Each structure stands twice: as structure tokens, then as C-alpha cells.
């Protein structure tokens, strides 16, 4: 159950290199810029996350901005570096943050990294379950665990075993916090990948994504961490519109997302795919 693009776009580099020396120079310059940005994100996070656990300091806006930058870039290396700066604290904030990174990283791994993805999701599920032992009514933790379980589904057999568990966590989170936009987002993703015969379906997913979009628009911008998900829900909603052949509406949704984050790798890829889609 991915939360972003799965495979690297290996063809893009070959297209640029095909134009000769100017293209090669452009590739070198762009690669240098990406490396510098990645280094800056990593260095900043290493400095900012120098406390023992998240219980020892609130998640500052600077830390949140660094996390957002790594998510925007879609860099497994940056996300892993930041995740590793968070110690093995037992407080709910530390556990949630580590599991959130694991959820992000797992969604960016490709099919050649199945074992790594499985291990990451197993760790995240165990961590979130530990957090719920102390507070079983934490809707944020319940919803993330439900999505982690759903992301662990790899086929029909695991779907029959894990699907009901994922749905139960997400339904419980909804009962506890029906106006939480991340709960709505993660429920929408679960509906998207769950067959209608088992309580999911694309119609339910689109409705829940639309509800999440409205909730994010009305959310308090000063509510603190966690505050992620607004760009994600626009990405999912745009994909659903594109699947229905509503290209103009999908493009408008992607533009809305880019106004929030103009460099977001996933949105840029989705919009590029939409613009370059062959006419039928």
C-alpha cells in the first residue's frame, strides 16, 4: 500500500543525456544541486534532533520543516538518516515518529527491496502496538498502525489475514476522531486498495479523500505535530480523477498541491504523467 512513487524514473536521465554535451552538463549541475539539498537536509536534521528522546523537547517547527523537506524530496537516504537520529525512546511521540518514518520509507522502496520493506513494516507495527498498550484510544497511532498493516499486504492470502485487522484499526480511529484529517486520509487509502466486496472500493475511497481534503483545509495550522498529509490526500484524489479520465480536474488538484509544496517529487511525477499521457 504505497504512500508515494515506488520505482525510480531511470529513463529521465537517458533522455537528457541523449542531447549531447549540453545535456550532460545539465545533468551534472542538477545532480550537484540535488546532492547539496540532500546534504543540507541531513545536516540540519542531525543538528536539530540532538536530544535524547522526543519527550525531552517538543518537535520544533525547524524539525518539522526538515522532515517535510525530506518527504518532499522522496529520499529514502534522507528519511533514514533523520529516522536514525530519533533514539529508542519509549514515549508515544518517539514511537509515533519512528513509525511514521518507517511508513514513508516502506512506501518508497521498490519490488527489489521486498525483504527490507517487510522488516521495516514489521518494526513499525510492533512499535505502534507498544504505544497503544499505554494509550489504546490514540487515534493517530491507531490509524497509522492500520495503514502499516494494510501496507504489509502482498497478496490474496495476506489480504485475507491482515485486511480485517487494518480496517478494524482505521474504523476504531475514525470512531475516536472522525474529524482528524490523517485518519480520513489513511482510511481513504485503505478503501482504495480494499475490494468493494470486503468493505472498500474506489467510490468509498474518493469520498473519504474528499472529506480529508476538506478537513485539512479547515485544520488549525498551529496545532503542532503531527501535521502531515495534506499534500498526500491531494495526490491520491488527483490520481483517482485521472483514472476516471478527468484530466483537467486532476491537473487542478495537482496544482493545488504544488501551491503547498512546489518541489514535491510525487506530485511532479503525477502531473508529468498526466500531461504526457497519450491521447486515446
Three-state secondary structure readout of 97-130: HHHHHHHHHHHHCCHHHHHHHHHHHHHHHHHHHH
pLDDT of residue 279: 64
CATH code reported for the domain at 90-197: 1.25.40.10
Q: pTM surpassing 0.85?
A: no
How does pLDDT run across 208-265, given as a tens digit for each residue?
Answer: 999 999 999 998 877 778 889 999 999 999 999 999 999 999 999 999 999 999 999 9
Q: Is the pLDDT of residue 88 over 80?
A: no
d(CA 81, CA 66): 12
How does pLDDT run across 163-216, given as a tens digit for each residue?
Answer: 999 999 999 999 999 999 999 999 999 999 999 999 999 999 999 999 999 999
Q: Is the pLDDT of residue 1 over 60?
A: no
Q: Is the pLDDT of residue 159 over 70?
A: yes
Cell of 146: 492500520
SS3 276: coil
Q: Is the pLDDT of residue 32 over 90?
A: no
The candidate with the shortest Cα–Cα distance to 238, out of 262, 263, 257, is 257
Amino acid at each position: 500500500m504505497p504512500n508515494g512513487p515506488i520505482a525510480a524514473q531511470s529513463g529521465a536521465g537517458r533522455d537528457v543525456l541523449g542531447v549531447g554535451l549540453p545535456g550532460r552538463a545539465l545533468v551534472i549541475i542538477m545532480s550537484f544541486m540535488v546532492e547539496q539539498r540532500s546534504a543540507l537536509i541531513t545536516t540540519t536534521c542531525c543538528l536539530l534532533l540532538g536530544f535524547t528522546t522526543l519527550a525531552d523537547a517538543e518537535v520544533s517547527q525547524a524539525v518539522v520543516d526538515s522532515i517535510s523537506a525530506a518527504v518532499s524530496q522522496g529520499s529514502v537516504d534522507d528519511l533514514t538518516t533523520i529516522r536514525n537520529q530519533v533514539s529508542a525512546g519509549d514515549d508515544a511521540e518517539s514511537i509515533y515518529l519512528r513509525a511514521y518514518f518507517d511508513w514513508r520509507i516502506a512506501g518508497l522502496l521498490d519490488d527489489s527491496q521486498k525483504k527490507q520493506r517487510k522488516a521495516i513494516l514489521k518494526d513499525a507495527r510492533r512499535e505502534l502496538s507498544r504505544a497503544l498498550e499505554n494509550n489504546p484510544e490514540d487515534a493517530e497511532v491507531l490509524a497509522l498502525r492500520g495503514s502499516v498493516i494494510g501496507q504489509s499486504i502482498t497478496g490474496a492470502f495476506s489480504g485475507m489475514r491482515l485486511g480485517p485487522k487494518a480496517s478494524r484499526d482505521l474504523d476504531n480511529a475514525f470512531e475516536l476522531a472522525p474529524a482528524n484529517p490523517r485518519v480520513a486520509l489513511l482510511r481513504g487509502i485503505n478503501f482504495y486498495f480494499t475490494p468493494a466486496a470486503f468493505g472498500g472500493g474506489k467510490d468509498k475511497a474518493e469520498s473519504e479523500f474528499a472529506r480529508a481534503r476538506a478537513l485539512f483545509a479547515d485544520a488549525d495550522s498551529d496545532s503542532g505535530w503531527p501535521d502531515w498529509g495534506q499534500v498526500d490526500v491531494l495526490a491520491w484524489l488527483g490520481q483517482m480523477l485521472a483514472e476516471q479520465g478527468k484530466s483537467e480536474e486532476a491537473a487542478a488538484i495537482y496544482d493545488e498541491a504544488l501551491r503547498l509544496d512546489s518541489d514535491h517529487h510525487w506530485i511532479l511525477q503525477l502531473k508529468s504523467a498526466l500531461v504526457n499521457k497519450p491521447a486515446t
